Structure 1
Amino acid sequence: MKDLAIRSYAKINIGLNVVGRREDGYHDLDMLMVPVELHDSIIMSEIKNTDDNFVTIDDFSGVRIHHNIASEALNLIQKKHSIKKKFRVFIHKVIPIQAGLGGGSSNAAFVLKGVNQLLNLKLSEDNLIALAKELGSDVPFFISCKPVRCRGKGDEFEPVAIKNNYHVIIVKPNPGCFTKEVFDLSDTMNLNTCNIDNVVKALKEGDDKLLAESIDNSLEDPAAGFVPEIKLIKQKLKKLGLGIVSMTGTGSAVFALSTNATLVKHAARKLEDRYVVEVTKILK
C-alpha cells in the first residue's frame, strides 16, 4: 500500500461572537470559519508486524513529540470500526500553534479522512463528522473544510458564500494563547460583539467596506489580557493599509484580508523580522 500524502489546512475566524456559556462547560458561539491554503503536511501509511500506531509530529521549532489529538483520532476510528491494522503518521507542522488557527483540530480531522481513504471504508461525511465531534469542537469543521457560519459550540454549520478572492496575511506574536484560559477570562468581562449577519452579507456581496466595519472577535480583549501585542499587531496592519483586520479564534494570531496581493506581501516584509508571518489565501 502506497503512502498517502494529505494537506491539513488551517482556518481563520472572520467574525466571532461568544453567545453564552453552556451547562456542559462549553460556550455557545456564532462565528464564521474559513479554511486557508496554509497547511501542515501529513504522510500516512499502513504498517505491519506491530501492535502500535506511530504518530510523529515534527514542528517548525524542531521539537519532536509523539502524541496529540491526531493520535486520539486514529485510535477513535480504529476502535469504532474494529480496525486491527496499524498506521504510521508523520505530521510536518507549518501552522503556528496556540494561534487560533485550528492546526491540531485540522490534523485530527484529516487523519480520520486519511484512514477512510487508505482502507476504502466509504464512510460518509456525516459519519466522519460524528466521529470528529467526539474529538473537539473545531474538528467537525475540517471534515468538509469549506466556509461556514458555525453556531452552538462550533459544530452547527451553514454554508457561506465568499465573492472576493482574498489574500491573507497571518501574524503571530511569540507568546501563544491557551483556549481554556481565554474563555475563562471572557466569563468575567463585558465582551465586544460582532455583527455576523453583516459579515455574511459583506462576504457574499464583496463589500469590503462593510466587512471592515463589521468584523470583530469577542475574545480579542480576553486574549489581549494574556498577549497585549495582539492589539499592537492590529494597529500595525492597519497602518500598512490593510482595513479588514481581526484576531482569529482565541488568538494569538491576527490576520488581515485584501484582494491586493502586493499590499499583503508588502505588509509581510515589514513584519516578518519580528513576528511569525504567513501569507496565504482563503479556500472557497
Structure 2
Amino acid sequence: MVYFPNAKINIGLFITEKRADGFHNIESCFYPIGWSDVLEILPSDKLSFKSTGIDIPGEPSGNLCLKAYELLKKDFDIPPVSVHLHKVVPIGAGMGGGSSDGAFTIKTLNYLFELGLSLEVMENYARKLGSDCAFFIQNRPQFCFGKGDEFSEIDVNLTGEYIVLINPNIHISTIEAYSGIKPKASASDLKETLKLPIQEWKNLVHNDFEQNLFPRFPILGTIKESLYESGASFASMTGSGSTIYGIFEKEVDLRNMFDNYAVWQGFL
C-alpha cells in the first residue's frame, strides 16, 4: 500500500509554560498542507526499512515508521512488513514530516491488518512516538495545546487560499529552538483571532520562536519579509523552524525568487 504522509503548518505558536516533565505547553493551530513524503508498506517475510530521497540522519531503527510498527507489534500479532519511505519533506523544518510518517504508519498497519483501531486509540499510540504525531491521525485543522498532542475544534478554513513554503536548507534542532525561550501566557485568544480576515492576522498572530531564531538566522526574517512584499496576506515561520510560509489570495509562482532553497507551493 502506498500513502502520502503530508506535512503541516503552525498558524500561531505560543509557548505558554515549562512543564515538570521537561516539555513545554503550547497553543497553536495545526493545519495540514500538501507537501508530502511517499510511504509504501507491504507484508513481507522479514521486517525491513529502506529510505530514498532526502538523507535521514541516524540509524534506521530510530525511524518513527519502525517505532510505530514495534508499538503495534507489542499488542497485536502482526506479521513483518517491508517499509519504503521516500523522503521529500525537509527534516528539522518545523512541518512535522517525521511525525506524519509515524502516524501514517499506524494508520496503514491498522488498515492493512484489519486491526479495527478507532481514531482515539490510534492517537494514543501516536502520542507515544512524539508530541505532534497524534495530529496526523485525523489530519485536519485543529487547535492544539498541551505538548501539542491535545486537540479541540477550531473555526479555520483556508480552502482556496494559495500557500508558498520556503525552506532555506537550515536544520534547527528542537533543543536549539527552545534555547533562550521564556514561556509566557498567550497575549490573545488564538481561536477568536483566527476568525478574523487573514489580512488582520499579521499583527496579531505570532510564532514565539521567531523572536529568538530570526537574530540567529537572519535569512528567515528576510524570507518572511520577501513573502509580504510579494503580496502574502499572512506570513510566518512554522513550528520551531526553519520553514517560512506565505498565504496568498491567488496563485503565485515564487520558485525563481528562491531557486536555491526547497520550495513547495499549491492550494490549501
The answer to whether the superposition gives a TM-score over 0.5 is yes
Structure 2 CA distance for partners of 1:54 and 1:225, relative to 1, 3 Å: farther
In the alignment, structure 1 residue 249 sits paired with structure 2 residue 235: no
Give the conservation status (yes or no) of the 8 Å contact 1:58–1:64: no
Structure 2 partner of 1:277:
263
Letter in 1 for 2:257: K
Secondary structure (helix, strand or coil) at the match of 1:245 reads strand
How far apart, CA to CA, are the structure 2 residues paired with 1:57 and 1:9?
16
Aligned amino acid, residue 235 of structure 2: V
Structure 2: stretches of 5+ with no match in the other structure: none
| Residue range with higher mean Cα deviation, 170-179 or 27-36 | 170-179
Judging by fraction of residues, say which structure has more helix.
Answer: 1
Instruction: Report the CA distance shift for 1:253/1:70 in structure 2 as closer, same or farther (over 3 A).
Output: same
| Residue of structure 2 in register with 1:158 after alignment | 152
Structure-2 separation of matches of 1:64 and 1:99: 17
Which of 29, 38, 44 does residue 32 from structure 1 map onto? 29
1:70 aligns with 2:72: no
Q: Report how far residue 185 of structure 1 moved.
A: 2.5
Amino acid at match of 1:185: G
Q: CA deviation at 1:277?
A: 0.9
Match of 1:91 among 69, 72, 85: 85
Tell me by how many angstroms 1:198 deviates: 4.0
Q: Which amino acid aligns with 2:152?
A: E
- Residue identity matched to 1:20: E
Question: 1:47: which partner in 2?
Answer: 44
**Seq. identity, %:** 29
Residue in structure 1 matched with residue 17 of structure 2 by the alignment: 20
Instruction: Give CA-to-partner distance per residue, 1:189-234, whole Å, 9 cap, x none.
Output: 88995651344312xxxx1222233221011122335422111111
Distance 1:111 1:198, change over 3 A: same
1:142 equivalent in alignment to 2:148: no
**CA distances 1:84-112 after superposition (whole Å, capped 9, x unpaired):** x1011111111111100100000000000
Q: 2 CA distance for matches of 1:75 and 1:201? A: 41
Q: Secondary structure at the match of 1:213?
A: coil
Aligned equivalents of 1:196 and 1:170: distance in 2?
22
- Alpha carbons of structure 1 residues 129 and 192: separation in structure 2 relative to 1, 3 Å: closer
Equivalent residues of 1:194, 1:218 under 8 A apart = no
Kindly state the Cα deviation for residue 82 of structure 1 after the two structures are TM-superposed.
Answer: 3.6
User: Please, what TM-score do these two structures have when normalized by structure 1?
Assistant: 0.87
How far off its partner does 1:55 sit?
Answer: 1.6
Cα deviation, residue 268, structure 1: 2.9
From 214, 218, 221, give the equivalent of 2:208: 218
Distance 1:57 1:223, change over 3 A: farther
1:227-266 paired onto structure 2 within 5 Å = 227-261=217-251, 263=252, 265=253
Whether 1:110 and 2:104 are equivalent positions in the alignment is: yes
- Give the CA RMSD over aligned residues: 2.2
How many residue pairs are counted as aligned between the two chains? 266
Q: Distance in 2 between matches of 1:171 and 1:194?
A: 27
Distance 1:269 1:6, change over 3 A: same
Are the equivalent residues in 2 in contact too, given 1:192–1:216 (CA < 8 A)?
no
**Matched-pair contact (CA < 8 Å) for 1:56–1:64:** no
Amino acid aligned to 1:270: M
Residue of structure 2 aligned with 1:174, choices 162, 169, 183: 169
Unaligned runs of 5+ in 1: none
